[in-house]
Structure 1
Amino acid sequence: MEEKIKRSRQETRSEETKSSIREAAGKLFTARGYDAVTMREIAKEAGCSHTTIYLYYKDKEALLEQLAIPPLMALEQTMLETLDNEEITAIEALKEISRQFLRFCLAHKSMVSVIINMKAARVDEVNPKSEVNKHRNQVFAYLAESLNRLIETDTNEQKINDARIFFYMLNGMVHTYLSNEEPLEQLLERIIPLLDEGLEIIILGMQKKRKQEEKQTKKLKNKSGRNSL
């Protein structure tokens, strides 16, 4: 019985140490950037020795994975459920997924740069080496899919560029309100109508642009056909 209690206490201390290390890493990564921070500095901030930290995390990348992957996976699952919901329209799915992303980022204000951006790969990289970037790119892929259901596009490159434009708007909203001190639900209630309207404007603009491009392509084909006669 005593041995069991002792083991339980050790496990509790171990989890507390790991949690302190993760919190210290997140704080330092956010304040100074991933590359500038050393494992020794993280250990000092966490209140443990530089040898102890390696018992739990082999390097900074392992720490980054622990900080970013669990919340990203939760966001992925929420997005996927929305995309798979056949009872809502494409525009409703786009709005809902955008709200989910906005809520996620504003709920993780102190860590959003670590979770979303730190050591990020290109969104069009097919198979990123980092596990973190695989999950980041999956989140982007779900955002892109929700948009592409509404915008007819001929090439994959154009689909990605459309999604980038869409993401820039979302990211702009996120960073506009990262320093806002309103309660999350109160803030979201105020800004989600702006998000919805912004999405409608983007969709209308992209759809109009595609129609103009289609007309221009037809004109060029017709002109080319007449010239060949």
Structure 2
Amino acid sequence: MAGVIPRKPGVCFAPRDGGVGHVLMADATGKNEMTPEFVEDLVGALRDAAAWPELKALVLVGHDDVFSSGASLGMLRALVAGGVAPADILLAKAVLDVPVPVIAAMAGHAVGGGLALGLAADMPIIARESRYGATFMNMGFTPGMGMIRLLEHVVSPALAHELLYSGEARRGAAFEGRSGFTAILPRADVLAHADSLARRIAEKPRKALSLLKRTLTLPRRRAFEETHTLESLMHEVTFAAEETRTRIEANHDE
């Protein structure tokens, strides 16, 4: 078994036995906030995983209480100022492009871009106690990272629209019986369930897994490309608005 491949802000690829790999996200803030450095290193860790010839199933793992809280305040300020282009944040695409099945072990809270990251996985698993939400509109700008279509992969269009418009974060238990999440479990059981699923998947041939992954993700990859273009156009308008600047400063940590 290969060793851990570390990345600066607490992101690493960790090969496990039997063709299972983990991408571990554990930044020093405890929030797994998306800064430019964090995004760069997470994309790098995903590439490290994809380059491991034994990889058959990959598990995304965050902190126990926070999977990812989305863009940092500094990142949002840079987006407003034009120093970073929303179109450059391609984490969701990086997950979709991993050549084998990806499981998101979302034991902790995931909001905004953090939720989009998890939803880009082939099998997102969430916790009953944790909160999940597309909180973009709370800060005055339209959803990004493919969220408009990714959310419809796990909930009905009607519920997706409600969550996108309202910006409300809901506990995982609220999605039981109303969603297509792979599993909704007690927080303490999420990672073990993800690993068990990954091990079962890893019993299959990599070539067959890769072909099936490419086929099953084709609708989402097409939808992502279409939505990504539309989201970028909406961002040009909303990030230029003064009200967006004010809302970001007021509501980022809520």
Q: Report the TM-score when normalising by structure 1.
A: 0.28
Structure (1 or 2) with the greater strand fraction: 2
Structure showing greater radius of gyration is 1
Q: Report the TM-score when normalising by structure 2.
A: 0.26
Structure (1 or 2) with the greater helix fraction: 1
